Amino acid sequence: MKLGLWIQGARPKTLPLGLAPVIAAAMTMWQPVFEGVYGGSYDHKPCPVFDGRPNLDLASNYGRCLTSHGWYIAVTLLCAGVAVFLQIAANFANDYSDGVRGVDSGRDMRNASTSGAANITGGAAQAQVQAQSQQLSKESAASEGSQRSQAPSRLVASGVAPKKVLAAAGISAALACACGLAIIVLTGHWWLLALGVVCIVAGWFYVGGKHPYGYHGWGEISVFAFFGLIATCGTSYALSDTVPYVIIWVAVAQGLLAVAVLSVNNLRDVDEDAAHGKRTWMVRMGRSGGKKLTEMLIVVPALMLTAEFAMRHPWTAAAEKVDTACGWQYSSPSDSVGREVCDYSHVAYTQHLFVVTAAAFALSCIVCVAAAIYVHREKYRAALPLCALSSLALAFAFGTLHLL
Give pLDDT tens digits for 335-386.
455 455 555 555 667 778 888 888 999 999 999 999 999 999 999 999 999 9
208: region left, alpha or beta (phi > 0 left; psi from -120 to 50 alpha) = beta
- The length of the chain is 404
Average pLDDT, the chain: 80
Residue 76 has pLDDT above 90, yes or no: yes
- Per DSSP, the three-state class of 170 is helix
Decide: 229 and 21 in contact? Cβ < 8 Å: no
- Per DSSP, the three-state class of 130 is helix
**Cα–Cα distances in Å, from 103 out to 95, 153, 155, 269, 328?**
9, 12, 12, 10, 72
With 0-12 / 13-18 / 19 or more C-beta atoms within 10 angstroms meaning exposed / middle / buried, residue 130 is middle
Give pLDDT tens digits for 40-63.
444 445 555 555 555 555 555 444
Give pLDDT tens digits for 146-183.
554 455 677 888 888 889 999 999 999 999 999 999 99
Give CA–CA dist 118/363, Å, rounded: 40
For 357-378, the three-class secondary structure string (H helix, E strand, C coil) is HHHHHHHHHHHHHHHHHHHHCC
CA gyration radius, the chain: 25
> What pTM, to 2 d.p., does this model score?
0.79
Decide: 202 and 195 in contact? Cβ < 8 Å: no
Residue 82 has pLDDT above 70, yes or no: yes
Residue 309 has pLDDT above 80, yes or no: yes
Report pLDDT for 203.
92
Report pLDDT for 41.
44
Per-residue pLDDT band for 240 (boundaries 50, 70, 90) equals confident
